[in-house]
Structure 1
């Protein structure tokens, strides 16, 4: 049986354990539980430790770096053993899950004292209470507070025409989000990249499908399950049972395929949580086409949430995230992953940001209040599955109090936009009585774990206060009783003492012992022991007090845990209202954060509509601009206009030429990022932006190989280009950089030429195309929507100066040798390169390679030290300087300066 079979079929009887007669009853129990959970590393609770045995111990020892010991023998061999403290188990679980190791947590289901009542050799009952997997985490220290932790299920149906459909359902049990959608098989990769799940559920058959196996194996954690988990015939019934509704009418309208994936999710959650019902929101259906399609390569190239090195720092998300709450940061990441394509919805988001841009006082006050709003969603999830603590209760209390602060500030504003009023409605929903109850119930200083006790405020419950008094003031209770007994008996020397044999007892001297054994005092005092000089008694009252004192600590904790469960029950009943408030906090956090970004970085509100416009004035790259600002340098803004020209029905293609390092790639990326920011409802880094809805965003920028798949850099480039040319629509935005550079010159030029024609004639999309093939600029003469642009540079004394300005026109060369010189290539190499370039430029392109080699004979460059390379003559330097001049681009002052510089280069005398 595999790990997946163990998870999906827990009702099967445990496998027979061999040779258990030779092990202790405790080890026999361990082997039986382990056999019922194959493929899972078993955390077996023994007191304050989770103990791990056999092969699991060897694996855990290697993975966690903990000491491997041994405990007893099995079949004549030592039993390997290691363990982790319960109080630090979350740290070890995090490390195991990161390594792809799933863990079954086996707890003690009774007190050891209860087990001893069945006999001295009885074993404490234990059972698995939870299976820990990457997609089912709830613990605060196992999760990234700023990111969702999605569990996703994939269901597939074979179309009669051969076109498969994919149903997707994904949930985050730590926030209760539940979403379903459907897509074509070819769109699965882009959809998975957008959702970014931490664990994916598939059928065994789908996992083995050759068409999808490569895609699935690239995901962080894929769990193949048996077919019954994805049974479409029972999907609706399982969903109705989970949400306690009679029919699917009570849930979102879903296709059969979406329902199948959704049912797989809830079934897996039920089984990994071993029967605990995680309170999820009803599934929300995401309609096809409501978000901008962005394929995985584009997401990586544009570094939306992670840089190419895998870090958050340096990504677009890092640059724009000014949120002050974890929930707000998660919502911003969700929006960035899925920009909208609905003009009205985008407008509502922009209206909310505009309100906070215009009113700085309101924005600052709300952000100050939001900082006090805790992560209610995740606290609610932990409490709902029995893993919460006192601080989670306080989190919900503080959340409701923060809601009142926010509402008080917003209530003074008239005519608020729809998104803000919707958030206010969510903040009104939680019961204020619940918060008041929690305020009365919870102490000031709260422990992390409920088992530590001490979290209920004094005065909240009389029975608890009495029990605590017995626990904490036992000496005072005994002292008061001693004084009373002394008064009642008239024996001033009466003492109440304690030892481990008799417990609490009354002690008097021998001369007073007879008095206590006579009526009427003998009715109260019961003789226990006579010693030389002392006589000891007990009383029924003292026996009761002793029992109370002995059990007071346990009883106090028990009463606190009862109160905790009662408060947690109130939370579960109010979960929908609390969840609405949590979402409202996130909405306001994102809106105020984007407003702060707009004000601090001088962003403007974009004009977004359903046209094919794409006109950016003074556009800037949001990440690069921030990096330059930190270094005290300005960012050079540039305009772009891909809108259809007069009489044209489709957008333009800009063909951009210019040297490396001049800023072509930055210009390409910034336009894509501006479009993306506009469609998440953010202001944009520009002086003005008019953007027609982009339905698909494609980026082919940079060079990288894929050795795992046996793909060269050029092959990767061609695969990504093929995706663009096959999928780009008229509403798409495409940015392409250096297509065809990874192969022979004429091959690459031909591919780039054909790609531009295809974009112009077939895709008819808006596009930015950067290239070093200057020959392509001639295409503008026959392609009416192709526009030539170049990045301006200046050459001075053989060096190139990058001005980072994008202007109409085309470059006549790429300045590659000058860039190589800046990079530090040896002077001999630079000199030789200039010589070769001059010869090549003078040759007819049709000349044979042999003739070219004859004209450029190789010389023994390796035999000459770099210092011995012949420097260019004064005449050559003067000629190079004259060639570098561009009179049409020079001002009168620049021309005069250039003339003086040339005169200075003339030979002396």
Structure 2
């Protein structure tokens, strides 16, 4: 180590303490990285990798990013799975030199940046929570705690190990903290599937006794009893979260709300596969676009958007909660003028939660104070708007939470300028007249500038050099600058006693005077003093805000509640949604139901109207199952999904896309729709299908709503039919639930006459000369065929393949009718011919006969579609 420079010795010592993270080592205006960190960062960030200096005889790889643009690089690294230790200079180079000419600037890690500990707006999605979760397991008990340090939300719940996957899917945390002894392949696979970063920590972080002390210390209490009753696993999970935050935030703990205990039975249980299939908050492509959330989101504040996603992810199972939310939406639907005015006021409201969090972590600035001022201003305006209105309980409580902040608002209003800078160190954010000491320092600073201008004029006249300027930089301070030509005059005997030479550059010569140096001292002292006063006042304003943090958190929740209610009302009126009736029965009666995402897509792409359909799964003594048949592309999957989505919307407290809806409380929602594989773990499409089906049959209770699509299609025909048959019987006899069961196995339709509560339904089509027209209408009854060949033709299969498929299908159906065997059929069929199909004669044009009497302006969309098929047939003939 004798050959290691002092700076490199410092770097290696700090890096050793944070071996699992990339080290952003502050050197002036850059964060530098060395050795393996530099190699990894350069590749991840696509920046230049250089080599400078030597360490143990080898070149030192290094790269760097500018401090002023570091947040963008941080985001890239976090998204690629890195953790970053931010190492700042704790003193200036000048302060270091006071300790000795060879002293290294003191540096230390001030923060560990991980996926679950982001607070900067530029690193976060404004309209989504960014949860950090911790999973604790003590013997047979387990618990999950989660927090969003950017908003202060803090929750905990006891869960069974089998519920870990559904709860993680519901919360979608950015990071999961677990004890290092619990890192198992299954847990890593689960987290990988859900896109959650797993961080192992020492098992001591989860020690329940130490955990309780940490949580109590966080809130300054001697016991957690006043917050509720928590078991050992819950305390362990909460304490591990607090410990992890102390490690990553280097002692600057965020402003966490009191822990809220949740229960499994308070929300509809929806597993990860069902959330993915229904595309509640993310589409199958993994983006927000084309999800139910994207279609619904008409909120105008970030807090309201986060609340919408939370409600949509966790539909309630409590009648009082559901009805309170529906009453709030109804009130906004009825008083449209008030709702419109509220939305305009809310639109001007900044993100109060995140401004508070940044202030508590000492990462805030004057603009965060201004954001709180703006939020309180709009809160007052909203209270005034609703002064005479009669509102339901939920909105009344929200309005009550907005009151009582007049003194704080007056303080912020008087203290801050209209448009403050981002950082306190920039100064200029305290309004004139707020502090007399600051006003005095500013006056001296500003008048000093005018004196400098006067002094420049004086020196120009004294020397006879009109172009003479007084300038300033951080190295020389104030100086007199003139050209080299004029400088010879100032260096002469007449002026050399007054003007002292400081520096000569390529084109300019710089001087100073005793008078200028004395004035500079006075000006700098005044400017520095003004900035120090502003920093002190900033801290006082921050303390005043944080003293009322609990109440301000209530304001943020209230504003989000108002935003969500008015947004759902706006959506319901614009899209013609109805208020659902949710009760304790086992009914499920939807009249004129629609798929909200598909309906919007049709309207935006083609202007075509969505075909609404009824669904009555009312269960009285046992199961209520619709066995749905019909061709592919007819809309079976859309029908299945839309009814599941209507249940979700109703129980989250929203209006629903239907003419009417009566829903008996749904406890669980299961979906097995679509085809996917998991080749990385050796799971075929069929295996994934069976795993998801098994989860449904093993867990669904009699209040579950289940939608199943094409069970058994991934294997041989008779195997698949047998599995589908047994699955349907199990749903009916054991689960006794409400279900929609779509299938191409028409043999299953016979079960409707044998199993009570099972009914046949089909998606209607119209056949025209061998082709099908999809009517998208669900009717009682069973389909006698799947029209697979016709759909294949629509998909664009070569005409020779379609023709051959028709021949084979005709022979198969004939053989089945006559009781023959497939082997003799195969022997008798002629070989496939790839000859091109016969071309129509150019001399005939039967299509003209169809067109002669057509009046296009009188055609309905359905008639137009029929005409297209007729024209195609005519063209072929």
TM-score over 0.5 for the pair: yes
Which residue of the partner structure matches residue 382 of structure 1?
Answer: 358
Superposed counterparts of 1:313-462, under 5 Å: 313-414=289-390, 416-429=391-404, 431-462=405-436
Query: Which of 253, 257, 265 matches 1:277?
Result: 253
1:635 aligns with 2:616: no
Which residue of the partner structure matches residue 94 of structure 1?
Answer: 75
Query: Which of 149, 156, 164 matches 2:130?
Result: 149
Give the deviation of 1:831 after TM superposition.
1.5
Change (3 A) 1:714 1:535: closer
Change (3 A) 1:438 1:746: same
1:69 aligns with 2:50: yes
Unaligned segments of structure 2, at least 5 residues:
459-468, 480-491, 500-511, 842-862
Which residue of the partner structure matches residue 805 of structure 2?
Answer: 833
CA contact (8 A) 1:741 1:748 kept: yes
- Whichever of the two has the greater Rg, that structure is 1
Q: Deviations over 1:541-563 (max 9, x none)?
A: 99875422133443333322222
Does the residue aligned with 1:136 lie in a helix, a strand or coil? coil
Change (3 A) 1:202 1:483: closer
Does the residue aligned with 2:25 lie in a helix, a strand or coil? strand
Which residue of the partner structure matches residue 582 of structure 2?
Answer: 608
Distance (whole Å) between structure 2 residues aligned to residue 259 and residue 31 of structure 1:
37
Distance (whole Å) between structure 2 residues aligned to residue 149 and residue 317 of structure 1:
17
Distance (whole Å) between structure 1 residues aligned to residue 232 and residue 522 of structure 2:
60
Q: Deviations over 1:496-540 (max 9, x none)?
A: 9999999999xxxxxxxxxxxxxxxxxxxxxxxx97678769999
Query: Which of 698, 702, 719 matches 1:747?
Result: 719
Which residue of the partner structure matches residue 466 of structure 1?
Answer: 440
Does the residue aligned with 1:428 lie in a helix, a strand or coil? coil
Q: Deviations over 1:447-492 (max 9, x none)?
A: 22233222222232233233333333324346899999xxxxxxxx
Distance (whole Å) between structure 2 residues aligned to residue 78 and residue 386 of structure 1:
39
CA contact (8 A) 1:828 1:869 kept: no
Deviates more, 1:352-361 or 1:53-62: 53-62
Distance (whole Å) between structure 1 residues aligned to residue 611 and residue 226 of structure 2:
55
Distance (whole Å) between structure 1 residues aligned to residue 754 and residue 167 of structure 2:
38
Distance (whole Å) between structure 1 residues aligned to residue 646 and residue 121 of structure 2:
34
Give the deviation of 1:24 after TM superposition.
2.4
Query: Which of 542, 545, 551 matches 1:568?
Result: 542
1:766 aligns with 2:738: yes
Which residue of the partner structure matches residue 132 of structure 1?
Answer: 113
Does the residue aligned with 1:307 lie in a helix, a strand or coil? coil
Distance (whole Å) between structure 1 residues aligned to residue 667 and residue 310 of structure 2:
17
Change (3 A) 1:46 1:652: same
Which residue of the partner structure matches residue 466 of structure 2?
Answer: none
Distance (whole Å) between structure 1 residues aligned to residue 820 and residue 840 of structure 2:
28
Query: Which of 214, 220, 223 matches 1:247?
Result: 223
Cα-Cα RMSD? 3.0
Which residue of the partner structure matches residue 34 of structure 1?
Answer: 15
Distance (whole Å) between structure 2 residues aligned to residue 788 and residue 481 of structure 1:
97
Which residue of the partner structure matches residue 825 of structure 2?
Answer: 852
Q: Deviations over 1:635-690 (max 9, x none)?
A: 1111011112xxx4234100011111111111111100000000000000111100
Does the residue aligned with 1:582 lie in a helix, a strand or coil? helix
CA contact (8 A) 2:379 2:402 kept: yes
Change (3 A) 1:497 1:68: closer
Change (3 A) 1:828 1:261: same
Distance (whole Å) between structure 2 residues aligned to residue 296 and residue 154 of structure 1:
17
Distance (whole Å) between structure 2 residues aligned to residue 503 and residue 22 of structure 1:
38
Give the deviation of 1:62 after TM superposition.
1.2
Which residue of the partner structure matches residue 836 of structure 2?
Answer: 866
Which residue of the partner structure matches residue 226 of structure 1?
Answer: 202
Which residue of the partner structure matches residue 91 of structure 2?
Answer: 110
1:822 aligns with 2:794: yes
CA contact (8 A) 1:654 1:788 kept: yes
Distance (whole Å) between structure 1 residues aligned to residue 610 and residue 494 of structure 2:
98
Question: How many residues are treated as equivalent by the alignment?
Answer: 813
Which residue of the partner structure matches residue 843 of structure 1?
Answer: 815
Distance (whole Å) between structure 1 residues aligned to residue 22 and residue 729 of structure 2:
58
Distance (whole Å) between structure 1 residues aligned to residue 725 and residue 472 of structure 2:
98
Change (3 A) 1:480 1:835: closer
Which residue of the partner structure matches residue 627 of structure 2?
Answer: 655
Change (3 A) 1:504 1:428: closer
CA contact (8 A) 1:612 1:650 kept: no
CA contact (8 A) 1:252 1:282 kept: no
Distance (whole Å) between structure 1 residues aligned to residue 450 and residue 836 of structure 2:
95
CA contact (8 A) 1:328 1:587 kept: yes
Distance (whole Å) between structure 2 residues aligned to residue 89 and residue 483 of structure 1:
43
Superposed counterparts of 1:727-742, under 5 Å: 727-742=699-714
Give the deviation of 1:64 after TM superposition.
1.1
Q: Deviations over 1:144-181 (max 9, x none)?
A: 0011000000001223xxxxx32000000000000000
Distance (whole Å) between structure 1 residues aligned to residue 471 and residue 649 of structure 2:
75
Give the deviation of 1:442 after TM superposition.
1.8
Does the residue aligned with 2:816 lie in a helix, a strand or coil? coil
Distance (whole Å) between structure 1 residues aligned to residue 646 and residue 381 of structure 2:
34
CA contact (8 A) 2:136 2:236 kept: yes
Give the deviation of 1:38 after TM superposition.
1.1
Change (3 A) 1:536 1:731: same
Which residue of the partner structure matches residue 292 of structure 1?
Answer: 268
Deviates more, 1:559-568 or 1:336-345: 559-568
Give the deviation of 1:793 after TM superposition.
1.0
Distance (whole Å) between structure 1 residues aligned to residue 705 and residue 457 of structure 2:
90
Change (3 A) 1:477 1:464: farther
Which residue of the partner structure matches residue 722 of structure 1?
Answer: 694
Distance (whole Å) between structure 2 residues aligned to residue 119 and residue 773 of structure 1:
86
CA contact (8 A) 2:345 2:378 kept: yes
CA contact (8 A) 1:617 1:686 kept: yes
Unaligned segments of structure 1, at least 5 residues:
1-18, 160-164, 485-495, 506-529, 872-893
Q: Deviations over 1:246-273 (max 9, x none)?
A: 1112323211111100000011001100
Change (3 A) 1:438 1:544: farther
Return the TM-score normalized by structure 2: 0.88
Q: Deviations over 1:695-720 (max 9, x none)?
A: 00001111111111111111111111
Distance (whole Å) between structure 2 residues aligned to residue 613 and residue 47 of structure 1:
68
Q: Deviations over 1:194-231 (max 9, x none)?
A: 011000001112113x5534323434210011110111
Return the TM-score normalized by structure 1: 0.85
CA contact (8 A) 2:812 2:822 kept: no
Does the residue aligned with 1:134 lie in a helix, a strand or coil? coil
1:59 aligns with 2:40: yes
Deviates more, 1:129-138 or 1:438-447: 438-447
